[in-house]
């Protein structure tokens, strides 16, 4: 092969690589990493992307060069030269991809091992998914509808589900983990920056799937300790029950800051009860929690799970009913 040809091939490859690098860097493909695990995963992405750009550039330059130099002229009906292959070239184009793929798998295995290492003393938080809400149980035994994490410390999430398969995902923390009934899947997160990010269900789980969201707030370690001691929510006991059982996943309730729209708007309970004619306001609310299918508010579907009668202890159920009734009056 002549030297001029090599220079032309290399020039095409450099142009192709330049365009690819510009596209890769100019567009924010990945969310800003808010955790160490996400940083490592981003590193694997960039490592793989770098290899992909290099391989793509070489292939594109050879194709472009061939189209340019070896194109058959019009009326050229002669056969091409008889070629039997090139053993050295074939060894090279088998060995190089094998080495690259092996490198990707080694780096991925290292990152997977590092990302699942919870260390000697992680903060442990239970994550419960149910149609269609998240609830988080902290080391102090309290449960809230949102996630609070300390920065620069490993937290091990213990993820499970009450009904169907959901999947826990915070884009800025990068990892997804399935929430499966009867299983306790672990996920280690080490936040590196404070801030508030969305918690998203990323497994199609029913009517309210697209609304099955919460948020994670990453705070300083001192603020996290304060949060565990004080319990961030003060207010009527019924509000804690409302948050613990994830009612906000589906319902709107202004005093609780809940904005779900899958189920009826709980700020309108008085009006609904008047329309429904099913006894007192309290009786109507209790029936709607325990036997949600008994009466369906027009405009909504019969999708609320009939599990809360067993799940919510009687005293807490009373607190919840009172809380909702007082708010509606």
- Asked if 209 touches ligand CUA (CB under 6 A), the answer is yes
3-class DSSP string for the chain: CCHHHHHHHHHHHHHHHHHHHHHHHHCCCCCCCCEHHHHHHHHHHHHHHHHHHHHHHHHHHHHHHHHHHCCCCCCCCCCCCCCCCCHHHHHHHHHHHHHHHHHHHHHHHHHHHHHCCCCCCCEEEEEEEECCEEEEECCCCCEECCEEEECCCCEEEEEEECCCCEEEECHHHCCEEEECECCCEEEEECECCCEEEEEEECCCCCCCHHHCEEEEEEECHHHHHHHHHHCCCCCCHHHHHHHHCCHHHCCEEHHHCEECCCCCCHHHHHHHHHHHCCCCHHHHHHHHHHCCCCCCCCCCCCCCCCCHHHHCCHHHHHHHHHHHHHHHC
Count residues binding ligand CUA (CB under 6 A): 9
- Asked if 212 touches ligand CUA (CB under 6 A), the answer is yes
Task: Compose the 118-137 pattern: x for residues touching ligand CUA by CB under 6 A, - for all others.
Answer: -----------x--x-----
Q: How far is the CB of 307 from ligand CUA (least distance, A)?
A: 15
Q: Which stretch binds ligand CUA (CB under 6 A): 199-207, 219-227, 237-245, 267-275?
A: 199-207
Name which position in 201, 266, 281, 289 contacts ligand CUA (CB under 6 A). 201
- Asked if 205 touches ligand CUA (CB under 6 A), the answer is yes
Q: How far is the CB of 29 from ligand CUA (least distance, A)?
A: 24
Q: How far is the CB of 246 from ligand CUA (least distance, A)?
A: 11
Name which position in 37, 148, 162, 203 contacts ligand CUA (CB under 6 A). 203
Judged by beta carbon, residue 201 or residue 258, the one nearer ligand CUA is 201
Judged by beta carbon, residue 10 or residue 204, the one nearer ligand CUA is 204
Name which position in 36, 40, 154, 166 contacts ligand CUA (CB under 6 A). 166
Q: Could you list the residues that contact ligand CUA (CB under 6 A)?
A: 129, 132, 166, 201, 203-205, 209, 212
């Amino acid at each position: 092969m002549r030297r001029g040809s090599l220079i032309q091939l290399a020039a095409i490859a450099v142009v192709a690589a330049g365009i690819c690098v510009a596209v890769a860097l100019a567009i924010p493909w990945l969310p800003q990493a808010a955790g160490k695990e996400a940083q490592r995963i981003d590193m694997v992405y960039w490592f793989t992307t770098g290899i992909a750009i290099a391989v793509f550039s070489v292939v594109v330059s050879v194709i472009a060069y061939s189209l340019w130099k070896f194109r058959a002229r019009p009326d050229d009906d002669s056969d091409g030269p008889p070629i039997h292959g090139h053993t050295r070239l074939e060894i090279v184009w088998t060995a190089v991809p094998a080495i690259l793929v092996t490198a990707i798998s080694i780096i991925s295995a290292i990152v997977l091992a590092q990302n699942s290492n919870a260390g000697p003393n992680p903060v442990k938080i239970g994550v419960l998914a149910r149609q269609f809400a998240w609830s988080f149980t902290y080391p102090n035994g309290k449960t809230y509808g949102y996630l609070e994490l300390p920065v620069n410390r490993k937290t091990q999430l213990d993820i499970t589900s009450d009904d169907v398969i959901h999947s826990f995902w915070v884009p800025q923390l990068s990892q997804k983990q399935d929430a499966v009934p009867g299983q306790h899947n672990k996920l280690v997160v080490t936040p590196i920056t404070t801030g508030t990010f969305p918690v998203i269900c990323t497994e199609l789980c029913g009517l309210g799937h697209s609304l099955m969201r919460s948020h994670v707030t990453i705070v300083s370690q001192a603020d996290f300790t304060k949060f565990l001691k004080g319990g961030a929510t003060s207010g009527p006991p019924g509000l804690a029950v409302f948050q613990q059982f994830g009612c906000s996943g589906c319902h709107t309730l202004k005093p609780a800051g809940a904005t779900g729209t899958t189920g009826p708007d709980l700020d309108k309970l008085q009006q609904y009860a008047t329309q429904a004619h099913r006894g007192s306001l309290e009786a109507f609310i209790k029936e709607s929690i325990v036997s949600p299918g008994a009466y369906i508010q027009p405009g909504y579907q019969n999708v609320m799970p009939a599990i809360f009668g067993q799940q919510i202890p009687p005293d807490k159920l009373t607190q919840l009913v009172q809380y909702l009734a007082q708010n509606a009056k």
